[in-house]
Structure 1
Amino acid sequence: MNNNVATWFELPVTDMQRAKAFYQEVLQASFKDETMSGYQMAIFNADEGSVSGMLILGEQYQPSQTGAVVYFNGGENLSMPLDRAVKQGSSVLVPKTPIHDGECGYFALFSDSEGNRVGLYSPS
């Protein structure tokens, strides 16, 4: 059994193609498309055993800047995905910020193409 606290996430979207294009550019992500019980899903491709999740479009899912925040791996330089997000029309909500003077890494927050507040994390 894996000891990750989080095991799955779902990011609500209102336009699946726009959201996929956004994350493909910002995170260099790829997806597996699925439909289930009337919901459109785009599952982030990840290594087996890794925590992953999906973009989801459906009646019960509404994007929000006030709900839970998902933090994505920002790689070694948060400036790169943040710059790509801004080029895709995103707003940076919190720029690269040290956690405990950088001892615990760095984070940033931005608004995605759907209006969700999303985070990035980097160890350096």
Structure 2
Amino acid sequence: MNSHIATWFELPVIDMQRAQSFYRNVLDAGFKDEEMNGFQLAIFDAEAGAVSGMLVLGEQYQPSPTGAVVYLNGGENLNTPLDKAIQNGGSVLVPKTPIHDGECGYFALFLDSEGNRVGLYSRA
């Protein structure tokens, strides 16, 4: 059995350039651009063996503020990417919030440039 339950994620986008710019600015993310079966893809750069995912532009992919929530690594302090999300056209839905008084880290939720509800997690 794999020790990771999550193995891949896909975030729907309406405007690929805008979405890539948003995540570059908010998370310092890099991407590998691809196209497959008529879908435009931007795969997040990640270390070998790490769980990763991609931005997807295609007819069957629609951003949603109410769908499943993907939690991304928020780095050392969630306030940094949350501030960057606001500066880049997103909005904060849930500010940095302790989990069990901070014993299990912190989470936050934001709305990205495409209208997806996305989570952030950090240990501190």
Aligned to 2:11: 11
Aligned to 1:40: 40
Task: Tell me the SS of whatever aligns to 2:83.
Answer: helix
Amino acid at match of 2:67: G
Aligned to 2:62: 62
Amino acid at match of 2:16: M
Q: How far did residue 90 of structure 1 move?
A: 1.0
Amino acid at match of 1:11: L
**In 2: Cα distance, 1:103 partner to 1:70 partner:** 21
Amino acid at match of 1:13: V
**In 2: Cα distance, 1:90 partner to 1:115 partner:** 8
RMSD: 0.8
**In 2: Cα distance, 1:22 partner to 1:47 partner:** 21
Q: How far did residue 22 of structure 1 move?
A: 0.2
**In 2: Cα distance, 1:2 partner to 1:101 partner:** 30
- For structure 1, the residue ranges without an aligned partner over 5 or more in a row are none
**In 2: Cα distance, 1:19 partner to 1:87 partner:** 14
- Given the superposition, is the C-alpha separation of residues 50 and 4 from structure 1 closer, same or farther in structure 2, using an over 3 Å criterion? same
Q: How far did residue 58 of structure 1 move?
A: 0.3
1:75 equivalent in alignment to 2:111: no
CA deviation map 1:26-69 (0-9, x unaligned): 00000000000000000000000000000000000000011001
**In 1: Cα distance, 2:2 partner to 2:79 partner:** 31
TM-score, L = length of structure 2 = 0.98
Q: How far did residue 78 of structure 1 move?
A: 0.6
1:100 equivalent in alignment to 2:100: yes
Aligned to 1:25: 25
**In 1: Cα distance, 2:68 partner to 2:49 partner:** 23
- For structure 2, the residue ranges without an aligned partner over 5 or more in a row are none
Q: How far did residue 2 of structure 1 move?
A: 4.3
Amino acid at match of 2:5: V
The count of corresponding residues between Structure 1 and Structure 2 is: 124
Determine if contact 1:2/1:49 at 8 Å carries over to the other structure: no
Q: How far did residue 89 of structure 1 move?
A: 1.5
Amino acid at match of 1:8: W
Amino acid at match of 1:23: Y
**In 1: Cα distance, 2:83 partner to 2:6 partner:** 27
